[in-house]
Chain A
Amino acid sequence: MTGAAPGTALAASCAVCHDCGLLSRLRGHAAARCSRCGAGLHARKPRSLERTWAFVIAACLCYLPANLLPIMRVTSLGRGEADTILSGVEYLLTHGMWPLALVVFTASIFVPILKITILVSLLVSVQRRSSWRPRERTRMYRLTEAIGRWSMVDIFVVTILVALVRLGNLATVEAMPGAVFFGAVVVLTMLAAESFDPRLIWDRSEARGI
């Protein structure tokens, strides 16, 4: 199905369109546009490393308040109780709903840490011009892109509880600032994954002749 062709598109001064996938020849330095869909053409995503670092660092800054501050307060018959991400998981566990606890733990705690760890190690490996297992690193990148959305689960849980439980003095649920930081972590890590260019992984390993 696929025949061998020498080198990369960049080496042949071509670029693949980000939006429609058409291969075009890059001419000079003028801002080129894809002839098929009109998107801007770049051999590599512009300022990919800087942008990805910026989003990752911002996500790290939001990560602590997202986990330490309460994301919601449940008031039932005059008694108020603040819930953090972790205490939400704990609640599910102590009430014997461990499959659900596992889902929430994976989505809200494991996935954000995994995403940040993968992105930081990809950034560092690209900057150190590492030639270590480019295929596996590319796969890790695809994983980051695919799983990021699932962290939104807790934000949706808060939304639904707020909408459902509003019975005046009897019971109410209020969203708290932790939820804002948590939402920011999800959005920032998604933007970070979107800014990273996996082709950089291969550029650096090729520079060493692999």
Chain B
Amino acid sequence: MTAAALVACHDCDLLQRLGEVPEGATALCPRCGGVLRRRRRNSVERTLALTYAASVLFVVANAFPFLGFDMQGRETQTTLFTGVIDLWNQGVQEIAVLVAFTAVLAPLLQLSLLLYVLMPVHLGFVPWKMAPAFRLLRHVQPWSMMEVFLVGILVAVTKLQDMASVVPGLALWAFAGLIVVLAGATASLDPEAVWQRLEARR
């Protein structure tokens, strides 16, 4: 980046000159306090590493049952997706679609897009249709709600306590780890750095 690039605040439109932001620092708009740039050390590599870890945990979290439920000797087990299927069969398809999207598909899309964009960028080339993919990531992110889902699990399990015993499954631990790792990936991503690498290679 040149000495002081002209930028405008996303939240209040104030035009200003922004000098080099040191690694690990965040530049705020002096007028409204909005974030102008959050620069991270090794942003691409760190995000990529955390995304690899998250992808493994995502597969485990979805492939194995995350809760077992034991009531008077009768047992049920559930994976993330069985809830969605049950909702669909009960006739509340709107909710089934909403849950499938926010708890499974949006996180899956988020991880895939991160891998699709960051792997090639890290290796030094620009993937096909990178700009639309990276833009889509920005729009998918707000709808990926796994941490909210985890709170939902906590509430549901507490409610069931008097009724029966709930057994945490393997996927639950993977799920908890996934949330931490994905939050780390999101926090270490500096989109501006990715866009700059794209521009430099074009």
Interface residues of A in 30-45 (CB under 8 A from B): 36-39
Q: Does A201 contact B (CB under 8 A)?
A: yes
Contact: B86 with A100, CB < 8 Å?
Answer: no
For chain B, the bracket of interface size reads: 35 or more
Give B contacts to A, CB under 8 Å.
4, 6-19, 21, 27, 29-34, 36, 67, 69, 71-72, 74, 76, 78, 82-84, 86-87, 90, 92, 94-95, 98-99, 102-103, 131-132, 134-135, 138, 142, 145, 148-149, 151-156, 158-160, 162-163, 166, 191-192, 195, 198-199
By size class, the interface of chain A is: 35 or more
Cβ contact of B145, chosen from A7, A8, A152, A175, cutoff 8 A: A152
Q: In the complex the two chains form, is A152's CB within 8 Å of B8's CB?
A: no
Name the contact of B162 in the complex, choosing from A19, A95, A170 (C-beta under 8 A). A95
**Nearest CB of chain A from residue B76's CB, rounded to whole Å:** 6
Please indicate the chain A residues that have their CB under 8 angstroms from the CB of B18 in the complex: 1-2
- A-B contacts counted at CB < 8 A amount to 216
Give the residues in chain B near A160, CB-CB below 8 Å: 67, 78, 83, 152-153, 156
List, sorted by A's number, 20 A–B pairs whose CB atoms are closer than 8 Å: A1-B19, A5-B15, A5-B17, A8-B14, A9-B15, A12-B15, A16-B10, A19-B138, A21-B195, A22-B195, A138-B34, A142-B34, A149-B148, A153-B151, A156-B151, A157-B155, A158-B95, A162-B87, A166-B86, A176-B92
A88 to chain B, nearest CB (A): 8
